[in-house]
Amino acid sequence: MSTLQDTTNQQQLTAAESNPIRLKWMTGFPPNDDKIISAADGSFFNFPAIRYSVNHMREFFPNRIVEASREKTYKFKEKLDPNIDSLTFIPWSPISSSLSNGEWKSENQFFIETTMAPVTIKTFLDLNYVDGIIILHDGKIIYERYPAGLKPNGIHAAMSVTKSFIGFLASILIAEKTIKPEKLVTDYLPELSKSGFAGATVQQVLNMTTAIQYSEDYNNPNAEVWQYSQAGNPFKSEKYTGPKNIYKFLETVKKIPKQEHGELFGYKTINTEVMGWIISRVTNMCVTELISKKIWIPMGASTDGLFLLDSAGKAQAGGGFSLNLRDMAIFGEMLRNKGKMGNKQIIPEEAVELVSRGGDPKVFAKSEEYPKLKGWSYHNFWWITNNSHEAYMARGVHGQAIYIDPKAKMVIARFASHPLSSNKYIDPISIPAYEAIAEYLI
């Protein structure tokens, strides 16, 4: 995202209270002053305004279209299951303990702040501020809801789920022998020869095991994430003197002293920006064109997506994709079927295998960033669970997700606008909910 804001300490409202339709952002001719939100001052990303913004990113930033199919579009069959709403699950931990000593509370959470009471899927939607969710079973839609703002034909910001699309593009190009994962980053991008990425392989970038000095601690005003954000922000102040765009920022990144590339997992968005740059360098195409050509049109996506652009017109690979929920579900279903849609092989099966097989859990565990995700791993910008279903997923801040469970023949596509950005606050409810649905479907 070009303009990052931390929402941890902002006013928190319940899902119903913060519904963007109820709050009437940007409505009227002109809107009232207190209903106007903007990218220039960052107000678009403050909660509860973010619940409107995630559905309207094209109105805030320059962007480039990801073209959908103009001829054959994929249509799901439906077999809606009325029992899904009433399914229950137990959160991993009481909500208050998963929210940093109760820093965030809302009226619809009091009953599980100090207990481990069962939660229904219907309640889960509100607890996670869900904007839209689709559950597929064996290729059919069994559950579909749009609780707040998002429309079935609309598009929503995918946040860091974008990374998984970039990782999948890279996996396709690796399967096609266009990119060699064992090569050094600088073999493709000599511009980074004096940066902290020097000496790192493409695979280490894809696994986020590069030893680079970069923090995504939004509570630290000096964290490098803010420098990255400002470099990509197309609305720079006249006083700004830093790197002019994301490309230039990447050249300034330093290496961590006495740490080698490949030793430690560290979730750092700029790895994805490097991968997006490599992809565009070797193909001479923007990632927006490649997603359209290799994924969106072949699989029959019905709705144009878009990527936000930085100040040099670079598609923001770290989190700039907005797309339609059904199209995201189609993508997940294609992966579940190892690259096929019906009897047609849309993308190489090897590309799916590359993202779903996982990385090294020991390297992942060393980071200690995700203590709740014991036994998980990370590979090609995808998160690999440790459950017996061999499930894997794409994840984005504020609650975006694609969850693929091969054993249950299940795909979940979800958009949300949770007040807190980090998945560490969202996982204790979301992951056990996904697993409960999967167990029900087996």
Among 289, 269, 264, smallest CA distance to 279 is for 289
Q: How far apart are alpha carbons 169 and 293 in whole angstroms?
A: 11
| Residue 40: pLDDT band with limits 50, 70, 90 | confident
High-pLDDT (> 70) share of the chain, %: 92
> Which has more pLDDT, 37 or 369?
37
Instruction: State pLDDT tens for residues 230-282.
Output: 999 999 888 999 999 999 999 999 999 999 999 999 999 999 999 999 999 99
Q: How far apart are alpha carbons 378 and 274 in whole angstroms?
A: 17
Question: Beta strands 392-396 and 321-323: pairing type?
Answer: unpaired
What pLDDT is stored for residue 155 in this prediction?
A: 98
Q: Which phi and psi (to 5°) does residue 356 adopt?
A: -90, -15
In the predicted model, is pLDDT for residue 111 greater than 70?
no
What pLDDT is stored for residue 280 in this prediction?
A: 98
- For 8, residues 6+ apart whose C-beta sits below 8 A from its C-beta are 103, 104, 218, 219, 420, 421
Instruction: State pLDDT tens for residues 374-401.
Output: 999 999 999 999 999 999 999 999 999 9
With 0-12 / 13-18 / 19 or more C-beta atoms within 10 angstroms meaning exposed / middle / buried, residue 204 is buried
What pLDDT is stored for residue 202 in this prediction?
A: 98
What pLDDT is stored for residue 114 in this prediction?
A: 45
In the predicted model, is pLDDT for residue 9 greater than 70?
no
Among 153, 158, 171, 169, smallest CA distance to 401 is for 158
| Residue 94: pLDDT band with limits 50, 70, 90 | low
In the predicted model, is pLDDT for residue 409 greater than 90?
yes
User: Is the bond preceding residue 147 a cis peptide, omega within 30 degrees?
Assistant: no
Average pLDDT on 6-22 reads 77
pLDDT-wise least confident of 101-105, 304-308, 367-371: 101-105
In the predicted model, is pLDDT for residue 63 greater than 90?
yes
In the predicted model, is pLDDT for residue 373 greater than 90?
yes
Q: How far apart are alpha carbons 375 and 167 in whole angstroms?
A: 21
pTM of the model: 0.93
- Report the SS3 class of residue 248: helix
In the predicted model, is pLDDT for residue 219 greater than 80?
no
Average pLDDT on 78-90 reads 97
Alpha-helix residue ranges (DSSP H) falling in 161-223: 161-175, 185-188, 202-206
Q: How far apart are alpha carbons 285 and 288 in whole angstroms?
A: 8
In the predicted model, is pLDDT for residue 116 greater than 50?
yes
What pLDDT is stored for residue 237 in this prediction?
A: 87
Q: How far apart are alpha carbons 255 and 188 in whole angstroms?
A: 19
What pLDDT is stored for residue 115 in this prediction?
A: 54
Average pLDDT on 334-352 reads 95
Residue length of the chain: 442
What pLDDT is stored for residue 244 in this prediction?
A: 95
Averaged pLDDT of the chain:
92
Instruction: State pLDDT tens for residues 145-183.
Output: 999 999 999 999 999 999 999 999 999 999 999 999 999
What pLDDT is stored for residue 417 in this prediction?
A: 97
